[in-house]
């Protein structure tokens, strides 16, 4: 059994770009080579000279540890969001992620990125009839018209009572996507380059261990930015995944359930599937046993091929923050278990921030939404 995500087998981890060893000048420095940083670099590279700086290698952070569901649903209860901020806020949130999802699918197609992309549905399901689930549907159906409420359907390959189907979702191989996209960009990429400080002077001064970057603007896309911007915005949550070798019963869709914490699962191919969940705050090896028990109950016999865990970062209300921290210093964090489509949305918002354009959705991710 391997202790690494299956995506590290399809695209091996190695250093592909030089480290920064001198001083350079750019328009925009993007710190962090995960989905958020790479997506930001993608949009910004059309108008600006961009440097992407990664302390390890591209796609080795949490993005590379994800199960690569391309869902537009935020990792938060629709009912709770609507009750706290109103149905209009929820509708705008789904509208924004819906647009970003379309853009992501377009990026894959127009850049011809070979990343095993599958256009599918996602199913948020409950194993027994549940009134609160039906209530959740009341909020979701107003926010996202591309959905339906369904009863059990044996074609999906899992027993359930009811489900909310989100049509036109997707899944892919995240490392094939990230490394494929980066290889197409005309930007400077530096790996094994750890940013140690960001200072706001005439220009933004970004210090790394062996070189300095002077930039007009900086995007901080490092997962948890607390060490670079001295603000505590998020809490870490660990999530666990097993890759199971078996005759996969599931359809080609993506699934998650109503347990708290929820389980999530998908097929990779006819002989391999992923089951994740058992989220908690402190690493616990027993989480894998719990996951295995759940998988046996739902899917029968299998052999465990890989197991891994990664950290998600969660805000107080489970909605990300994407904001200008200080003049020309932009930060994105708190994507919880839904960072991939949100990563594309962040790239679109960061691009507008840097161009000085108003973005229709940025108010949803402002720190001011609590006031």
Ligand X SMILES: Cc1cc2nc3c(=O)[nH]c(=O)nc-3n(C[C@H](O)[C@H](O)[C@H](O)COP(=O)(O)OP(=O)(O)OC[C@H]3O[C@@H](n4cnc5c(N)ncnc54)[C@H](O)[C@@H]3O)c2cc1C
Among 56, 77, 91, 168, binds ligand X (CB under 6 A): 56
* Exposure string for 129-161, b = 16+ CB within 10 A, e = fewer: eeeebeebbebbebbbeebeeeeeeeebbbebe
Q: Is 67 in the site for ligand X (CB under 6 A)?
A: yes
Applying CB under 6 A, does 147 fall inside the site for ligand X? Answer: no
Give the range of 83-91, 156-164, 198-206, 215-223 binding ligand X by CB under 6 A.
215-223
43 in contact with ligand X (CB under 6 A):
no
Residues from 80 through 139 that contact ligand X (CB under 6 A):
none
Q: How far is the CB of 56 from ligand X (least distance, A)?
A: 4
Site for ligand X in 270-299 (CB under 6 A): 276
Distance in angstroms (rounded) separating the CA atoms of residues 243 and 183: 28
* 53 touches ligand X (CB under 6 A): yes
User: Measured from the CB atom, is 96 or 310 closer to ligand X?
Assistant: 310
Q: Pick between residue 132 and residue 200 the one whose CB is nearest to ligand X.
A: 200
- Of 17, 43, 48, 69, the residue at the interface with ligand X (CB under 6 A) is 69
The CB-of-330 to ligand X minimum distance in angstroms stands at: 13
Distance CA 53, CA 20 (A): 8
Pick between residue 152 and residue 259 the one whose CB is nearest to ligand X. 259
Per CB under 6 A, contacts with ligand X among 218-257 are: 221-223, 239, 241
- 192 and 57 Cβ atoms separated by less than 8 Å: yes
**Whole-angstrom Cα distance, residue 32 to residue 324?**
17
What is the rounded CA–CA span in Å between residue 346 and residue 97? 10
Binding segment toward ligand X, per CB under 6 A, in 6-14, 42-50, 65-73, 285-293: 65-73
Nearer to ligand X, 80 or 224 (CB): 224
H or E segment at 226? Answer: helix 226-229
CA distance 74 to 195: 29
From the list 162-170, 281-289, 309-317, 361-369, the region that binds ligand X by CB under 6 A is 309-317
- Closer Cβ to ligand X, 194 or 318, answer by number: 194
CA distance 179 to 38: 9
Nearest residue to 64 via CA among 44, 101, 38, 29 = 38
Beta bridge partners of 238: 280, 311
Q: Give the binding-site size for ligand X (rule: CB under 6 A).
A: 38
Please compute, for residue 310, the number of CA atoms within 13 A of its CA located in the half-sphere on the CB side.
Answer: 21
Q: State which of residues 19, 91, 111, 194 lies at the interface with ligand X (CB under 6 A).
A: 194
Residue ranges in 310-369 that form contacts with ligand X under rule CB under 6 A:
310-312, 335, 337-341, 343
How wide is the angle at C-alpha 248 spanned by C-alphas 247 and 253, nearest 5°?
Answer: 165
Closest CA to 342 of 361, 329, 326: 361
Q: Where are the beta strands (DSSP E) in 183-328?
A: 188-190, 195-200, 204-208, 212-220, 235-245, 254-257, 264-269, 272-280, 303-314, 321-326
Residues 6+ apart with CB under 8 A from 206: 29, 31, 53, 195, 197, 198, 212, 213, 214, 215, 218
Q: Does 164 bind ligand X (CB under 6 A)?
A: no
To the nearest whole angstrom, how small is the minimum distance from the Cβ of residue 290 to ligand X? 14
Minimum CB separation of residue 50 from ligand X in Å reads 15
Question: What is the x/- site pattern for ligand X, positions 11-40, by CB under 6 A?
Answer: --------------------xxxxxxx---
SS3 of residue 334 by DSSP:
coil
- List interacting residues with ligand X (CB under 6 A): 31-37, 53-56, 60-63, 65-69, 194-195, 221-223, 239, 241, 276, 310-312, 335, 337-341, 343
């Amino acid at each position: 059994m391997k202790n690494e995500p299956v995506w590290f087998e399809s695209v091996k981890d190695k250093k592909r770009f030089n480290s920064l060893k001198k001083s350079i000048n750019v328009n925009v420095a993007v710190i962090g080579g995960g989905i958020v940083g790479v997506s930001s670099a993608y949009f910004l590279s059309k108008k600006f000279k961009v440097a992407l700086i990664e302390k390890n290698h591209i796609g080795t952070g949490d993005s590379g540890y994800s199960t690569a569901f391309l869902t537009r649903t935020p990792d938060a209860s629709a009912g709770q969001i609507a009750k706290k901020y109103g149905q209009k806020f929820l509708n705008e949130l789904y509208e924004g992620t819906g647009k970003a999802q379309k853009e992501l699918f377009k990026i894959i197609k127009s850049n011809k990125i070979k990343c095993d992309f599958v256009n599918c549905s996602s199913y948020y399901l409950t194993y027994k009839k549940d009134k609160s689930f039906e209530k959740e549907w009341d909020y979701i159906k107003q926010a996202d018209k591309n959905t339906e409420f369904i009863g059990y359907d044996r074609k999906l390959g899992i027993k359930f009572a009811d489900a909310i189907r989100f049509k036109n979702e997707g899944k892919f191989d995240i490392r094939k996507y990230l490394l494929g996209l980066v290889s197409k960009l005309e930007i400077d990429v530096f790996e094994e380059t750890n940013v140690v400080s960001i200072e706001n002077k005439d220009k933004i001064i970004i210090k790394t261990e062996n070189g300095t970057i002077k930039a007009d603007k900086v995007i901080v896309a490092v997962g948890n930015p607390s060490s670079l911007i001295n603000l505590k915005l998020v809490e870490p949550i660990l999530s666990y995944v097993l890759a199971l070798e078996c005759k996969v019963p599931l359809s080609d869709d993506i699934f998650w359930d109503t347990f708290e914490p929820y389980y999530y699962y998908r097929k990779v191919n006819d002989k391999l599937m992923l089951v994740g969940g058992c989220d908690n705050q402190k690493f616990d090896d027993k989480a894998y046993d719990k996951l295995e028990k759940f998988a046996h109950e739902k899917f029968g016999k299998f052999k465990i091929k890989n197991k891994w865990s990664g950290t998600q970062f969660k805000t107080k209300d489970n909605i990300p923050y994407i904001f200008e921290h200080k003049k020309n210093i932009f930060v994105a964090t708190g994507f919880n278990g839904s960072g991939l489509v949100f990563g594309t949305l962040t790239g679109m918002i960061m691009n507008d921030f840097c161009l000085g354009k108003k973005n229709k959705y940025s108010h949803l991710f402002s720190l001011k939404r609590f006031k």
